[in-house]
Amino acid sequence: MTPEIVDSHCHLDFPDFNGDLPEILSRARAAGVTRMVTICTRLRNEPAVRAIAEAHDGVFYAAGTHPMSAAEEPMTTVDALIALSRHPKFVGLGESGLDYHYTADSAAVQQTSLRIHIQAAQETQLPLIIHARNADDDMARILAEHMKIKPYPCVMHCFSSGPALAQAALEMGIYLSMSGIATFPKSGDLRAIFAAAPLNRILLETDSPYLAPLPHRGKRNEPAYTAFTAKTGAQMFGLTEAEFAAATTANFDRLFTKARAA
């Protein structure tokens, strides 16, 4: 039997998937990807993302303001995010976070937005989905400041930062999500970070349509390709693919409680 896998982070509303979403979902299920979380990165698009989740079994959604869009979008509120979270298929908050690679000029706005998303996660106890790039020190500091006030569930989506942020996150009880980047030949340092982490803190994702794993690197990514990242993860932990799939699926259920398998 094909092991059950969860794609904890994809973007099914993006134009890359226009016209063939049913086929994409069919290929995902054939590959063992029985559940997926599609992420809304601009709250103006939340109705469309919600509609995708409502229309398809096994598809859930999260919504928030991506840090690279924080300066372009209206600032959300804790109450607005809490209101969205009441939908039965709304399972997480974000993605939010900090990105100083391309948008360092909006660092202050990003930090304000991040704190709002954290407060919503504290109130709802739904997992906060974090995007972090070139902002490790500020990210660790802000997450820790709020964790001390009131703990909240959290995952570092598509983790590709350094070992210091990984260690800080793990010490706070935060999960690390493994994307197709972990399959790339030059990602040895990243694989070492994941291999050193507790198995019960690892999730799988595609971040599709981006970051397709080998052997599809450079092409459009899709949820079915979670299976290739799972294969790499199993090798890193010295497990069979079925064992690694079962472990990461259990981790997903523990974190994303509203999307837990019936």
Residues in the chain: 262
CA–CA distance, 154 with 237 (Å, rounded to integer): 22
DSSP reduced 3-state for 150: coil
CA–CA distance, 30 with 47 (Å, rounded to integer): 28
> Is the distance from CB of 73 to CB of 41 less than 8 angstroms?
no
pLDDT value at 47 more than 90:
yes
Share of the chain above pLDDT 70, in %: 99
pLDDT value at 136 more than 70:
yes
* Among candidate residues 4, 22, 6, 28, the one with its CA nearest the CA of residue 221: 28
Q: What is the dihedral of CA 95, 252, 233, 163, to 10 degrees?
A: 50
* Among candidate residues 2, 1, 55, the one with its CA nearest the CA of residue 25: 55
pTM: 0.97
Amino acid at 140: A
pLDDT at site 3:
86
Tell me what the mean pLDDT of segment 161-187 comes to: 98
User: How do residues 80-91 score in pLDDT, each as one tens digit?
Assistant: 999 999 999 999
Determine the structural domain holding residue 173 and report its residue range.
5-259
CA–CA distance, 20 with 25 (Å, rounded to integer): 9
Which CATH number covers residue 205? 3.20.20.140
**Tokens standing for 221?**
């990514």
* Secondary structure of 121-148 as H, E, C letters: HHHHCCCEEEEEECCHHHHHHHHHHHHH
**Number of domains comprising the chain:** 1
CA–CA distance, 141 with 118 (Å, rounded to integer): 13
pLDDT at site 167:
98
User: How do residues 179-193 score in pLDDT, each as one tens digit?
Assistant: 999 999 999 999 999
pLDDT value at 262 more than 60:
no
Average of per-residue pLDDT values in the chain: 97
> Is the distance from CB of 200 to CB of 2 less than 8 angstroms?
no
User: How do residues 250-261 score in pLDDT, each as one tens digit?
Assistant: 999 999 999 985
Helix axis angle for 163-171 and 136-149, nearest 10°, is: 10
DSSP reduced 3-state for 165: helix
* Among candidate residues 169, 135, 177, the one with its CA nearest the CA of residue 5: 177
**Tokens standing for 203?**
């999730």
